[in-house]
Amino acid sequence: MTADALLLPKAELHLHIEGTLEPELAFELAARNGITLPFGSVEELRAAYSFTDLQSFLDLYYACMDVLRTREDFRDLAAAYFERAAAEGVRHAELFFDAQAHTSRGVAYADVVGGLRDAVDDAARLGVSGSLILSFLRDAPVEQAEAVWAEARRDLAGIVGVGLDSAEVGNPPGKFAAIYAEARALGLHAVAHAGEEGGPEYVWGALRDLGAERIDHGIRSLEDPELVRHLVEHRVPLTVCPFSNVRLRAVDTLAVHPLPEMLSAGLHVTVNSDDPAYFGGYAGQNLQAVAEQFGLSRGDLATLARNSVTASFASAQRQAELLADIDTWEAADGA
Ligand code: HPA
Ligand code: ZN
């Protein structure tokens, strides 16, 4: 029943492109750029993937990014992601990129965004549409975000929205309100991580202060019935990442993940992978795991896939194509 969740046509809406850096590619890029990683081998690096919370992951995540230096590196990283995504049924992907994590190391913004655009353009040959979401680091000084934004806004080709990520607790969304207001005025979409480790007040802040149209994670929204009512009434999508929540200990185990409660509350839930190289699986594997864990039917899986398409920022025409493909998948015998 669930084996072909991997082939179900879907959109990936919560994916940090830097979080797709597999250890093998990290070592390849380190060699290409003459950099020594603080790990002796692929196995040693993989063995470090044991996290106690979001911060313990972020420390490793930012350290590994040091191997990304050139436009070609960013293109190769994203090209590798698109190959994997296509093999797992992803037909549309919106990629977060942490520009500040690169510009703060002296990498040119133009090389970061240029390499990612090259890969997005090339992904069309795989039948995958893609776009970029410029994400600000909420735990860095807001002036750094403003500097990147001042550069980014001069050429927004390929960029569909702005996002907010990194360490949530103690870093409420409000200080990014002015940047978000400018981005929205330029026609960009607004999304933000909220309610991952932080409580419902961070979700309210993202909605009220940033005008967020989609909430990344949002699992702690369930603690506030008024917030749940608001999210349901306004059909605000939540990009839930089950493997991430388990690996970063936001939930104890997959068995107690709140996905079923979120679905039965009527929330517009999508299933995504976050940082798949670090958390054990890409979008299709996350879907397959929750399908097995919670005994989801073929119809339930098709609903999750439809949610991902209608929550996306893809064009109406692209959404219609993907919804038709999901209907075809649902009607087929998946045995
Ligand atoms: N949360 C916050 N910041 C991040 C994440 C996440 O799950 N992944 C990469 N940056
Ligand atoms: Zn994330």
Pocket of ligand 1 contains residue 275 by CB under 6 Å: yes
Average pLDDT value over all residues in the chain: 97
Pocket of ligand 1 contains residue 19 by CB under 6 Å: yes
pLDDT (mean) for 310-333: 97
Regarding pTM above 0.75, the answer is yes
Query: What domains are defined for the chain?
Result: 2-21+71-329 (3.20.20.140)
- Which of 18, 94, 196, 213 is catalytic? The answer is 196
Ligand lying nearest the CA atom of residue 197: 1
Nearest to 68 by CA among 86, 80, 57, 56: 80
Decide which of 87 and 1 is more confident. 87
pLDDT on residue 1:
45
Decide which of 2 and 110 is more confident. 110
155 φ, ψ (degrees, to nearest 5): -150, 100
Ligand 1 atom, smallest distance to 244 CA = 7
pLDDT band at 335 (very low <50, low <70, confident <90, very high): low
pLDDT (mean) for 161-179: 98
Residues of the chain above pLDDT 90, percent? 97
Decide which of 334 and 29 is more confident. 29
pLDDT on residue 8:
97
Q: What angle do CA 62, 170, 241 make, to 5 degrees?
A: 55
- Is the predicted pLDDT of residue 333 greater than 80, yes or no? no
Closest residue (by CA) to atom 10 of ligand 1?
A: 166
- pLDDT tens per residue across span 229-246: 999 999 999 999 999 999
Beta sheet of 268-271, edge-to-edge order: 10-16, 90-97, 129-137, 159-165, 189-194, 214-217, 237-240, 268-271
pLDDT (mean) for 172-193: 98
- pLDDT tens per residue across span 250-300: 999 999 999 999 999 999 999 999 999 999 999 999 999 999 999 999 999
Query: Is 196 annotated as catalytic?
Result: yes
pLDDT on residue 168:
98
Pocket of ligand 1 contains residue 274 by CB under 6 Å: yes
Ligand 1 atom, smallest distance to 16 CA = 9
From residue 6, give the alpha-carbon distance in Å to each of 9, 101, 254: 8, 32, 18
pLDDT on residue 179:
98
pLDDT (mean) for 102-125: 98
pLDDT on residue 3:
59
